[in-house]
Amino acid sequence: MLVAFILWLVFAFLSFGFLGLGYIWTRHEIKKPWKVRRAEGYRPRISIIVPTYNESDVIDYKLKNLAKLNYPANSTQTILIDSGSTDSTIEKIQKFIKEHQNMNIRLLVESERKGKSSALNRSLSSCDGDIIIVSDADCFWPSNILIRALPYLADPDVGAISGPKKLLNAEASATTRSEYAYLESMNTVKLGESKSSSTMLFEGGFSAYKREALDSFDPYLTGSDDCGTVITLLEKGYKAIMVQEAEFFTAFPRTWKGKIAIKTRRANQLVRLFKKYAILLFKNKIKIAKPVIARNVFMYLVSPIMFLFLVATTVYLIVEFPLILATLLVLLVPRARSYFAEVMLNYVILVYAIFSSLENKRFTVWSQPEDRALLEEQMLIQKGLV
């Protein structure tokens, strides 16, 4: 029994305990001042890229949201690139452009749907901004996001910034409530990493890059978010940080089926991402944030495997000594039980993604999640987003 219990403790620490210590560390880092220099009044020329595919449910909202941005019109370029939509997305964009000729908007159309990275790279060749900003069609920005967030890019060491994701329908169901709690914890982690040195976890809702630092979007690693693009920045010695001033809003599926679909797609990308980080660390090709990267590589590639061993030893102990494990479960407070349930779900999905990556299974083209239909104009109006 003693050996089994010691193994159980070891596996518990390497999965849950290590994760908890990392969270405590990032909360400590958040309290520290920024190590970057903001320049208020920094107003570079920007190019905003919005990739679309069958976005007829949300594209009107997105365009209205972009029209509300508080930023000099003569310094703003917007490129919408459509990848073979079969609904009325293109027609709605064309109508908006005709009605808003004061905005510098350009529509590019791909006849074949090749995926997000392909669309972004084609758009990149048409950008004339010093800062390239990427946003998904179902994500919405406060009107002052550029004025507040872009000053961080004035620091010569900062190559990119992203923002925390906020849910418009956080109270819609148990699924959205659990996702809200998860996002808040992840935003804490990313902010702590950013204040320490750099984060690797970017969101597709808002990410801004210095053109001089951005060669292209990696077709292997750029998927539902923009985490893959950060790798080349860190190789060049640039920081990639999440700033609270760049928060953006979106909806999230109300069902577990929708949630698992999104998390599975993201996990598949993250596993490939951190496999590449592990290789670059081994070859000593990363110039900054090595401790942060090593911690994330462990959490995303090693901890899920340790979770498998934890499950195995837990089953053994339950069979042999049911009273002990039953007591431990009862002692967990409700909030802790909810936290462990969310982490376990993420580990299960990561394990699946790890084994899928061994078989070279990939999600190369982004699909249409169910959250598009959940967006309502009233919830956007309440937040002042349209």
Residues 134-169 have pLDDT tens digits of 999 999 999 999 999 999 999 999 999 999 999 999
| pLDDT of the residue at 104 | 95
**pLDDT band of 298, cuts 50, 70, 90:** very high
Helix or strand run (H / E) with residue 165: strand 165-167
Residue 211 has pLDDT above 90, yes or no: yes
273-287 tens-digit pLDDT: 899 999 999 998 887
Q: How far lies 193's CA from each of 90, 238, 273, 297, in Å?
A: 39, 14, 17, 14
pTM for the model stands at 0.90
Q: How far lies 144's CA from each of 65, 70, 150, 220, in Å?
A: 11, 5, 10, 33
Residue 335 has pLDDT above 90, yes or no: no
Q: What are the extents of the domains in the chain?
A: 27-286+372-382
Helix or strand run (H / E) with residue 241: strand 239-242
Exposed, middle or buried: residue 319 (CB in 10 Å: 0-12, 13-18, 19+)? exposed
In this structure, the strands spanning 131-134 and 158-162 are unpaired
| pLDDT of the residue at 364 | 46
**What is the residue whose two structure tokens read 């949300």?**
58
Please state the rounded mean pLDDT for residues 176-182. Answer: 90
25-67 tens-digit pLDDT: 999 999 999 999 999 999 999 999 999 999 999 999 999 999 9
**pLDDT band of 5, cuts 50, 70, 90:** confident
> What value does the mean pLDDT of the chain take?
88
The CATH architecture of the domain made up of 27-286+372-382 is Alpha-Beta Complex (3.90)
Residue 73 has pLDDT above 70, yes or no: yes
Q: What six digits make up the tokens of 111?
A: 């006849």
| pLDDT of the residue at 220 | 63
